[in-house]
A and B are shown apart, each in its own frame.
Chain A
Amino acid sequence: MSEVAQATLTMTRARVLAVEKETHDTFTLTVASADPDPLPPFEPGQFSMLYVFGVGELPISISGDPGEPERQVYTIRSVGQATHTLVSQRPGNMIGVRGPFGTSWPVKAARGKDVLIVAGGIGLAPLRPVIYHVLRHRDDYVRLLVLYGARSPRDLLYRRQLAEWGRAPDTQVLVTVDYGGLSWRGHVGVVTTLFRQVRLHPSETVAFICGPEIMMRYVVRQLEARGLAPEDIYISMERNMKCGVGFCGHCQLGPYFVCKDGPVFSYRQMQPWMDIHEL
């Protein structure tokens, strides 16, 4: 069997090494291969199909460090039965992994430029590998700007890491919440309001955006108003994915299958399809 077929159609048994509670409903699973072969390497932005035996298979973005592919990390929000079962795993349990699948954030194309990351909610998870990559190859990039919005302070992912990243040289991390209590002394407002606090160099910036589609549309408008070209803006799309390899057609979006041609697209590619209501 070819390597591609092996990766797409066969499943690797993976052992759960750790389960970390990120928020009240979101958990991070670390897994490693339980088979003789290690889990295959991945690029930032790719996803895997995670199989919970007897329950079902789910597409989940890889949220770990691409420099450490042997331990793969997935951040999962518990919103239904399958995700609830997935986050209820204990260290030592076995799950199935297929992948990695899909396109990746073009981190090589961003070399020599500022990397702007705009994430909303759990959208930070598929972007965390980009942050790991930039920090691991710091001399290849100029500034790292991370704008992150969540529903409330208790919904913020990776809080300790956000603080650590913010202390790294030439790195600016701005965090906001839609609703904050009196104990929250940070920024309150939607993620687009953070743009007033950053100075962008539009011709020297590549933007990576992930979050709810409405949020991404408004972020793109802000970026275009500030002079970023559509080909320097990348977004991660979300559709109902089943097979992961473009066979079943569940995730079709215009001429694309999100699982195979995406999930990462340039805005130039996606622009004609984003405003079509039926899609």
Chain B
Amino acid sequence: MEHKSLEETLREHPFLEGFKPEHIRKMAEMALEVQFGRDQIIFREGQESGLFFLILSGKVALEISAPGRILRVQTLGPGEELGWSSVLGEGGKHFQARSLETVRALAFEGARLRQACEQDPSFGYALMRQLLKVVAERLQATRLQLLDLYAPRAAKLI
């Protein structure tokens, strides 16, 4: 995929909604198209993976290991982001990521993104703002998940 078409692809990705054209161009220069087969481990819990992904197609499961079992806590699909902690560059991965079907994505090196943010604060603000939105959405969804809203309770109108 050439830069031009990468730019077009990125322009259509919801993560980059509201980005200026020059910021999309900058992202395109750093993007690498990747593909994962079904049931492939993209990264493991605790692993120092430096890649941030924008998913183009397919589905990825985030899993966490518990003694004797693996829990699937979230799935991500086209238009979503994977590996946001790579952009911060601190510590290992909190979850294991597994492709549930063939996944196409654009990969970005977290270190390069950080460097670009430092060189161009306007780009850095746009990127960090979008990342914060992603993290806030995930936090809100996790809180709702923790509430266990559908647990059985005494019925009124059922």
Contact = CB atoms under 8 A, between A and B. Distances in A.
A240 B140 CA distance: 29
Interface in A118-145: 120-122, 125
Contacts of A75: 158
B158 A76 contact: yes
B144 A214 contact: yes
Interface stretch (A64-72, A162-170, A191-199): A191-199
Interface stretch (A55-63, A89-97, A105-113, A269-277): A55-63
Interface residues of A, number: 50
A187 B74 CA distance: 7
A76 B158 CA distance: 7
Contact of B158 (A61, A186, A212): A61
28 contacts: A25-B152, A79-B152, A79-B154, A80-B154, A83-B158, A120-B149, A150-B150, A151-B150, A179-B72, A179-B73, A180-B61, A180-B72, A180-B75, A181-B71, A186-B75, A187-B77, A188-B61, A188-B72, A188-B74, A189-B145, A190-B141, A190-B145, A196-B80, A197-B77, A212-B149, A241-B156, A241-B157, A258-B157
Interface of B: 14, 59, 61-63, 69-75, 77-80, 100-101, 137, 140-141, 144-145, 147-158
Interface of A: 25, 47, 58-61, 75-77, 79-80, 83, 120-122, 125, 149-151, 155, 176, 178-182, 184-190, 192-193, 196-197, 211-212, 214-215, 218, 236, 238-241, 251, 258, 263
